[in-house]
Amino acid sequence: MKKYILFFLSIIILNSCKKETQSLVRIEGKLLPITKEIKSVQQIDSFILPYKLKVEKEMNTILSYTKKDLVRTDGILESSLGNLMADMCFERANPIFNSRTGKNIDFALFNYGGIRAGITKGDITTANAFNLMPFENSLVVVELTAKKVNELVQYLIDKHIANPISKHIKLAISDNSYDLKIKNKKLDPAKTYFVLTSNYLQKGGDQMTFFSNPVSINLLDYKVRNAIIDYFSEKDTIYSNLDNRFIQIK
Amino acid sequence: MKRRNFIQKSTATAAFLTLGGLSLESFGKSTRKHITILHTNDVHSHIQPFDVNHYKYPNLGGVARRATLVENIRKENPNTLLLDAGDIFQGTPYFNFYGGELEFKLMSMLKYDLATIGNHDFDNGINGLYAQLPHAKFNFVSANYNFKNTVLDTHVKPYKTFIKDGIKIGIFGLGIKLDGLVEKDLFKETKYLDPIEIAQDMSRILKDEEHCDLVICLSHLGYYYKSAPSKISDLNLAAKTKNIDLIIGGHTHTFLPKPTVTKNSIGENVLINQVGCYGINVGRVDFYFDSNKNIASKGKSIIV
């Protein structure tokens, strides 16, 4: 019995030694800003360098050319850059959509806020495409009823800004009515329309609620930015003008 | 069973009495231990410092500078952990071109110990994240994302424990609700579980089962949502849980000049920290432990 107790005793001592609780007595917290006063680790800098050079080279690659500044602010209800944005995405996306479904896109709609930077006259580089579209948004084709297209038009009228729409739309608004043509035809209440936009807007971005619960959605697996880069790559010079696709009649 | 307890207790008392002046003293001595936690969040692929002419963050940030800072602190205290609270990806062409490879390789060179997953880490899809994992020499934790039916199954653990200088540190991860924030096609079959329930469970496991001395939550829930105060956030999480010592946050890009000290569900202090974004800052929290069993100073002092 004595041996037994001694055995126990040593276990307890070992245990109490091992399990001795660590008590947290003091905590200190602070913010360490990364400023120019902190020297770089040379090894890290040299590791980054080849990546940096490659990215810079790619970003500085000249894709195309523009004779004038392309901006989103040179019109009231349309802009040179907005028109370009919608038209080039349409041009890149429609062959893909057509080859997969046998159908054609009716028009494209994006949002004014989604044009993140203008393009200065001169060479157009990959960097321009990244600045114009820094997000990873992808192109989608949304099938809408005529009723939803009416809501879309009402949205354009209510917002009264140069939201990018493709040349397939002609919309003239006056104080209490409007005239709409889609591919030179009046809106057909019995028809559904295929509208090209981004996944971000389809999901209700910028309050584009008319894109919710559509007849169908077709994901093109094609990033908006890549469509822009591909379009620039195949054109020597980019032209875009205001063509009264969306106007206010006095 | 009761009798055995009694024997244990009485013998312990006896031991204390008889050996009091001898060996007990050797480990009754006050030994101070020091753990340093360094952390970043929402670095968003910012590899290089901002341009000297940048309108908001001129000449701030940069991984190579962060490396120097971390190296110096590790020299000063080898018992240091370096953590990241998610959104490692997306924000510069480095991500667009290399898909996160460079971010993970650099974090490995800086010897990051652990990270959690932010919503933007799904930007190239769950497959894109999975494809970059071989470049990360550190682990990811997430307790409230169930990856069972995804490629990440078994690659992301709910928590991880570390032992530094005999101090056991348990760290679990929490991610933000992905529905409405990330496209379903990107996160696929990832299931989002209630962060509060999971955090309660995790802190119990880490405290009672793993016997951790320090419990840290790496969260990408966001600090607080003014326009939606009841939305789950780090502040709400702290108030509804216990046994968490530190919540390291992300997502809201909140620049906290110093960690927030708040109360948990049983009135104990919890620290919450978040250091903005883009690698402009590193957060530092130092924990000092006293192993003296005769603690006169029960409770802890917090200096922020």
Q: Do A30 and B19 touch (CB under 8 A)?
A: no
Q: What is the pLDDT of residue B9?
A: 42
Q: Is B19 a domain residue?
A: no
Kindly state the DSSP code that residue B138 receives in the 8-state scheme: S
Q: What is the pLDDT of residue A21?
A: 67
Q: How many contacts does A have with B, using Cβ atoms within 8 A?
A: 180
Q: What is the pLDDT of residue B60?
A: 98
The secondary element (H helix, E strand) that includes residue B101 is helix B101-109
In three state form, how does the secondary structure of B27-81 look?
HHCCCEEEEEEEEECCCCCCCCCCCCCCCCCCCCCCHHHHHHHHHHHHHHCCCEE
Residue pair B120/B41 in contact by the 8 Å Cβ criterion? no
d(CA B209, CA B207): 6
What is the residue whose two structure tokens read 């602190």?
Answer: B73
d(CA B98, CA B72): 29
Q: Do B93 and A58 touch (CB under 8 A)?
A: yes
Q: What is the pLDDT of residue B7?
A: 38
Q: What is the pLDDT of residue B180?
A: 77
Q: Is B110 a domain residue?
A: yes
Q: What is the pLDDT of residue B30?
A: 58
Least CB–CB distance from A55: residue in B93, B245, B301: B93
CATH of the domain at B291: 3.60.21.10
From first to last of its 250 residues, chain A has per-residue pLDDT tens of: 455 544 444 444 444 444 556 788 899 999 999 999 999 999 999 999 999 999 999 999 999 999 999 999 999 999 999 999 999 999 999 999 999 999 999 999 999 999 988 999 999 999 999 999 988 899 999 999 999 999 999 999 999 999 999 999 999 999 889 999 999 999 999 999 999 999 999 988 889 999 999 999 999 999 999 999 999 999 999 999 999 999 999 8
Q: What is the pLDDT of residue B24?
A: 40
Q: What is the pLDDT of residue B244?
A: 97
Nearest-CA distance A126 → chain B (Å): 10
Q: Do B67 and A5 touch (CB under 8 A)?
A: no
Q: Do A27 and B214 touch (CB under 8 A)?
A: no
> What is the ipTM for the molecules in this complex?
0.87
Q: Is B207 a domain residue?
A: yes
Q: Is B23 a domain residue?
A: no
Q: What is the pLDDT of residue A4?
A: 53
Q: Is B290 a domain residue?
A: yes
Determine whether B288 is exposed, middle or buried from the number of CB atoms within 10 Å of its CB (0-12, 13-18, 19+).
middle
Q: What is the pLDDT of residue A1?
A: 47
* Number of compact structural domains in chain B: 1
Q: Do A38 and B68 touch (CB under 8 A)?
A: yes
- B273: closest chain A residue by CA: A29
| Mutation site, A4, A5, A14, A26, interface B, largest B CB count within 10 A | A26
Q: Is B46 a domain residue?
A: yes
d(CA B171, CA B77): 20
pLDDT in tens, B169-181: 999 999 999 987 8
Least CB–CB distance from A28: residue in B97, B102, B303: B303
- Containing structural domain, residue B227: 39-303
Q: Is B281 a domain residue?
A: yes
Q: Is B244 a domain residue?
A: yes
pLDDT average per 10 residues of sequence, chain B (304 residues): 42 38 44 93 96 91 98 98 97 93 98 97 96 98 98 98 96 94 90 98 98 97 95 98 97 96 96 97 95 53 86
Q: What is the pLDDT of residue B27?
A: 46
